[in-house]
Structure 1
Amino acid sequence: MMFSKQNSLTEERDNLTRINSGWRIFRGSAYYMSSTEKTWQESRTYCQSVGADLIIINSKEEQISLFTYMWIGLTDSETEGRWKWVDGSPLTTSYWYDGEPNGNTVENCGEIKTFTAERSWNDGTCSRSLKWICEMKLS
């Protein structure tokens, strides 16, 4: 039992260290916005390597605090037209830009397309390099 408590404290310490290294806190999550560009999969791999994942946008507040041309944790690569978040949950609320998604089997990864508060998502080619946003749940 003591080992489990020690692991929990170590994980909490590591999370706090990450937060103090360029992560922003907002409503129970910490966010890291990259300054470099990677493909969607490379971005996700980076996020996972630090105990996070690409951002899952659950609210209008999260949506409007984001920047343009950044990968988000949304894909339809398993089944064309069935958009899911990186945690496997289905897309229920969306902010697609007018006419999106429109890429058929060529564009399977979600990105922020414009700097508007709403309706700014695009389905992009996953191999293109963009900045990205990691999200780490703190609770």
Structure 2
Amino acid sequence: MVSDLALSWYEAKQYCEDVGAHLIVLDSEKKNKGSFNEFYVGASDLAVEGKWEWIVPGASNYFNFHETQPNNYHIKYPTFTADCADIHTDGTLFDDYCGQKQAFICEI
């Protein structure tokens, strides 16, 4: 389910859970390809800085970060850490500030 709502990563996580799903886990190159435009996905390094994990424990070690990412910095919110992943139009992940409101993808 691709949402047209703009929520923080935390709100998006809860929204997906409330509808019996979770933020999408991009656990393969095939699943990672698509036409995306800055959607939150189910990855973060909230537990341990620099240790990226998918929202589903043990789901995958596949992370297709952009060549400049993760850098723990968000240009719009430079005073906040960037601990939540979103996918961009080129199919790569970026680390973003979790409080930023944007669309997201849920997976059942």
| TM band (smaller chain) | 0.7 to 0.9
Contact 2:44/2:83 (CA < 8 Å) preserved in 1? Answer: yes
Provide the secondary structure at the position in 1 that maps to 2:62: coil
Alignment RMSD: 1.6
2:82 is matched with which residue?
107
Count of paired positions: 102
2:77 is matched with which residue?
none
| Distance in structure 1 (CA, Å) of the matches to 2:59 and 2:72 | 19
- Which residue identity does 2:81 align to in structure 1? V
The one-character-per-residue Cα deviations of 1:28-78 (angstroms, maximum 9, x if unpaired) are xxxx00011100000010000010000001122211125110000001001
Q: Relative contact order (C-alpha < 8 Å, sep 6+): which is higher?
A: 2
| Distance in structure 2 (CA, Å) of the matches to 1:37 and 1:89 | 28
1:89 is matched with which residue?
58
* Unaligned stretches of 5+ residues in structure 2: 74-79
Which of 1 and 2 has greater Rg?
Answer: 1
Matched, 1:134 2:103: no
Contact 1:108/1:124 (CA < 8 Å) preserved in 2? Answer: yes
* Unaligned stretches of 5+ residues in structure 1: 1-31
Per residue, is there more strand in 1 or in 2?
1
- Within the candidate set 11, 15, 23, 1:46 is matched to 15
Per residue, is there more helix in 1 or in 2?
1
1:1-139 → structure 2 map (5 Å cutoff): 32-89=1-58, 92-103=61-72, 106-113=81-88, 115-117=89-91, 120-136=92-108
| Distance in structure 2 (CA, Å) of the matches to 1:91 and 1:62 | 12
TM-score when normalising by structure 1: 0.68
Contact 1:83/1:90 (CA < 8 Å) preserved in 2? Answer: no
